[in-house]
Amino acid sequence: MADAAPQRITDIGPPDFQQFLPPVVKANYGKWKYHEIVEPGVMVHVAESGDELYTIRAGSPRLLAIDTIRFYADLADKYCDGHLRFTSRHNVEFLTTKKENVAKIRAEIEANGNPVGGMGRSITSIVHTQGWVHCHSAATDASGVVKAVMDEVIDYFKEEKLPAKCRIALACCLNMCGAVHCSDIAILGIHRKPPRIDHKNLDKICEIPNLSASCPTAAIRPATVEGMPSVEVIEEQCMYCANCFTVCPAMPIADPENDGVSIWVGGKVSNARSEPQFSKLAIPFIPNNPPRWPEVTEAIVKIIEVWAANARPYERMGEWIERVGWPRFFKLTGIPFEKEHIDDFKHAGLSFKRSAHLTHEA
């Protein structure tokens, strides 16, 4: 690939993926017949030709030092003729045609601290975002919460003992970079205080009309403060989305006491059985409690256990709740139902229970 060009190279795009495909993939490209999970975290794909390809999937922290990547590369060289891939949920997958290599790969990658699993009816890695590691917008950390949660649910990663897949995702603010809005369980960083306004600098660094327009609830109005053009925020109208801060740095919103985490459940992406769905609010607010966010992990474990104990086979979190009803979900998890759970945004009315389809306890 490398090729010393005298002039500046631009717009070449990524390398053609073809050069990275293992030979067995090239040979059976588009001609796979079926697959089977042979043990937790290991599956075999069988081609129409009869060729077999084993995949060993290992959990990865996503935030990787280059030396860890090099370790993955070495392992691929050792057992996979130099081939590996990452998944859409940030796990690393080792690809080999040699069945006998499976156990060896498992042993070495586990020895490095990467569990094998995340396939089938399991919990796989948590899709997440930057948090305090790199983003200015975060209402919570990302990697820390993720690590704390995965430590608690790792058995569900390593074994297939759930009714169905359970996808967890985390986003550290309402921008939702992790696109957590369609997850079985979503962890969402959330502010709870209106932005503070840096009146001295606002007019210099932000455009006031754009800023006013950015607020979904029209809570921001142009105002002259101490002789300077600035804005005011009608606090009762603010729901802390931070869109104003995204548009204008002079509107900081982060606040240690009021930032924290909310928990959402029942979303899904796949079209399997039911249509894709948004996650719905389960717990409006849990304060940040680093380094291990114990209230968050506890709540998530509880939700998973209740679902696992009550759902039918193949029933994703949201499908189970949809069948038995939200009252049952709140009852079994012990989560209190509060005013905050009732939608009051644009389509609020559509979330009201507009039928007599109810369960009743005798």
Could you say which residues in the range 41-70 bind another protein, by CB under 8 A? 45, 53, 55, 59-70
Report in angstroms how near the CB of residue 349 gets to ligand SF4 at its nearest.
Answer: 21
The one-character DSSP state at 339 is G
CB of 74 to another protein, least distance (A): 7
- Per rule CB under 8 A, count of chain residues that contact its own copies: 10
Q: Does 119 bind ligand SRM (CB under 6 A)?
A: yes
Asked if residue 275 binds its own copies (CB under 8 A), the reply is yes
Q: Does 231 bind ligand SF4 (CB under 6 A)?
A: no
Q: Tally Cβ neighbours within 10 Å of residue 287.
A: 15
The token duo for 235 is: 């606090």
The residue within the footprint of ligand SRM, chosen from 21, 68, 120, 285 (CB under 6 A), is 120
Among 107, 133, 228, 234, binds another protein (CB under 8 A): 133
Tokens read off for 325: 């009803």
Residues in contact with 81: Cβ distance below 8 Å, sequence separation at least 6, in sequence order: 22, 23, 96
Binding mask 186-225 for ligand SRM (x = CB under 6 A): ----------------------------------------
Q: Rule CB under 6 A: say whether 28 interacts with ligand SRM.
A: no
Which residue in the block uniquely carries the two structure tokens 């990524």?
A: 14
Please choose, out of 37-45, 73-81, 118-126, 232-240, the segment that lies near ligand SF4 by the rule CB under 6 A: 232-240
x/- mask, ligand SRM, residues 249-278, rule CB under 6 A, reads: -------------------xxx-x------
> 328: which 2 tokens?
């049952």
Determine contact, residues 266/322, Cβ cutoff 8 Å: yes
- Rounded Cα–Cα distance for residues 67 and 148 (Å): 23
The count of chain residues that interact with ligand SRM, using the rule CB under 6 A, is 29
The answer to whether 229 and 263 have CB atoms below 8 angstroms apart is no
Rounded to the nearest 5 degrees, what angle is found at the Cα of 255, between the Cα atoms of 254 and 256? 125
Nearer to another protein, 98 or 136 (CB): 136
Tell me the closest approach of the beta carbon of residue 147 to ligand SF4, in angstroms: 16
Q: Rounded to the nearest whole angstrom, what is the least distance from the CB of residue 212 to ligand SF4 in the complex?
A: 9
- The answer to whether residues 131 and 140 touch, using CB atoms and an 8 Å cutoff, is yes
Total Cβ atoms within 10 A of residue 20:
12
Out of 313, 354, 360, 361, the only residue in the binding site for its own copies (CB under 8 A) is 354
25 three-state secondary structure: helix
How far is the C-alpha of 337 from the C-alpha of 263, rounded, in Å? 13
Question: Binding to ligand SRM (CB under 6 A): which residues in 86-105?
Answer: 87-89, 91
CB neighbour list of residue 110: distance below 8 Å, 6 or more residues apart: 58, 116
Distance of closest approach, residue 347 Cβ to its own copies, in angstroms: 6
Preceding omega of 291 cis (within 30 degrees of 0)? yes
Q: For residue 350, what are the contacts with CB-CB under 8 A and spacing of at least 6? A: none
Residue pair 323/273 in contact by the 8 Å Cβ criterion? no
Site string for ligand SRM, 320-359 (x = CB under 6 A): ----------------------------------------
Between 202 and 342, name the residue whose CB sits nearer to ligand SRM: 202
Among the listed ranges 100-108, 222-230, 301-309, 324-332, the one in contact with another protein (CB under 8 A) is 324-332
CA 140 to chain centre: 14
Pairing mode of beta strands 220-225, 280-287: unpaired
Residues at the site binding ligand SF4, with contacts judged by CB under 6 A = 129-130, 135, 137-138, 171-173, 175-177, 194-195, 214-215, 217, 219-220, 233, 238-244, 253
Residues at the site binding ligand SRM, with contacts judged by CB under 6 A = 35, 87-89, 91, 118-120, 124-125, 127, 129-130, 134-135, 137, 164-165, 167, 175-177, 179, 246, 268-270, 272, 316
